[in-house]
Amino acid sequence: MTPKISLLAAAWLVLKKDWQIEWRTRARLTALIFFSGATLLLFSFAMGPDVTSLRAHAHGYLWLGLLFASVLSLGESFRIESENQALTGLVLTPVEPRAIFIGKVLGNASMLFVLSLVLLPITVGLYDVTLTRVPHLLLLVLFLGVLGISAPGTVYSAISANARARDVMLPLLLFPVLVPLLLAAASATKLTFQPDPQDQLGSWLKLLIAFDLIYLSVGFLVFPKIAEED
């Protein structure tokens, strides 16, 4: 039997629903921003006041900060679904699990993207980087990077939300998988902060796109098995 609405329409409803909830609980987003800002601050304290060194490594600190924040935001994204078993409720409506996956990945990615934008001025303040060289490419890198965190992150947070030791399970599962993403996103970001004489940025962008496509496809295929008992 064909569902009443299309896959994309259902995904859009899921995404809007997540935005609605984020807006209504925006105090939490604010707390997340302060957490990430504090993380960046702690990096600068741990490394010491050498501005040259901080500037040289700022790309790494930014992405580490985003990575840590993502664990919190991904965890929360599925906590709201497991509270009252709302995710099961969606599946029974019926809503196609694949639509839920698309909606949640985009929701998580958009939250992290907003977070990354807010962190940019903090990065400038703490590490004295230049954002104005290729700002459009920087935004592209940020977007591709957070999408790459969200794709496997959505699958793993769906699993962890129902597992024991869930706080530790998500980063334990997610971080090894994100090693190449971290490498690519940080390297690409560095090449937007600094001059790129050998034009390596293009290669890193391609790697990011490949990573995103692969994990979106794998997640798309695997998520339905997790969203419902089989």
Partner 1 sequence: MSALAVEAIDISKRFGARWAISRLSFSLEQGRSLLLTGHNGSGKTTLLRIISTAAFPTAGTLKVLGFDSKKQRDSLRPSVALVSHASFHYEDLTAAQNLLLSAKFLGVKDPAATVKELLERMGLAARADSAVRQFSAGMRKRLAIARLLMKAPKVALLDEPFGELDPAGILQMEQLIRSLQAQGTSVVLATHLIEQGLTLTQERLHLEAGRKVSPS
Partner 2 sequence: MPASIPLLLLLALAVMVVVHIAVPKTRTILWKLSAALGAVMLGLLMYLGMFYAPPEAFMSNVGRILYVHVPYIWMAFIAFLMNVGCAFGYLMKKSWVTDALAESSAEVGVLFGAVGVAMGSIWARPTWGVWWDWDPRLISTTVMLLSYVGYLALRSFTEDPERRATWSAAVGILSGVSLPITYYSVRWWNSLHQVQSSTASVDKTMGSVLLWGLATLLFFLFPFIVKRYEIARARQTAAMELPPLEAPRPEAA
**Residue from the set 163, 167, 202, 213 that interacts with partner 2 by CB under 8 A:** 163
- Under rule CB under 8 A, residue 199 binds partner 2: no
Nearest CA-CA partner of 8 in 100, 93, 86:
100
Tell me the two tokens of residue 223.
């998520």
Q: Are 22 and 112 in contact (CB under 8 A)?
A: no
Of the two residues 10 and 161, which places its CB atom closer to partner 1 in the complex?
Answer: 10
DSSP classification of residue 198: T
Of the two residues 24 and 164, which places its CB atom closer to partner 2 in the complex?
Answer: 164
CA 93 to CA 73: how far, in whole Å?
A: 26
* Region near partner 2 per CB under 8 A, out of 8-16, 56-64, 124-132, 195-203: 195-203
- Under rule CB under 8 A, residue 137 binds partner 2: no
**Residue from the set 31, 92, 117, 218 that interacts with partner 1 by CB under 8 A:** 92
Q: Annotate 172-194 with b (16+ C-beta within 10 A) or e (fewer).
A: ebbeebbeebbebbbbbbbbbbe
List residues binding partner 1 (CB under 8 A). 1, 3-5, 10, 13, 17, 20-21, 24-25, 80, 83-86, 88-95, 228-230
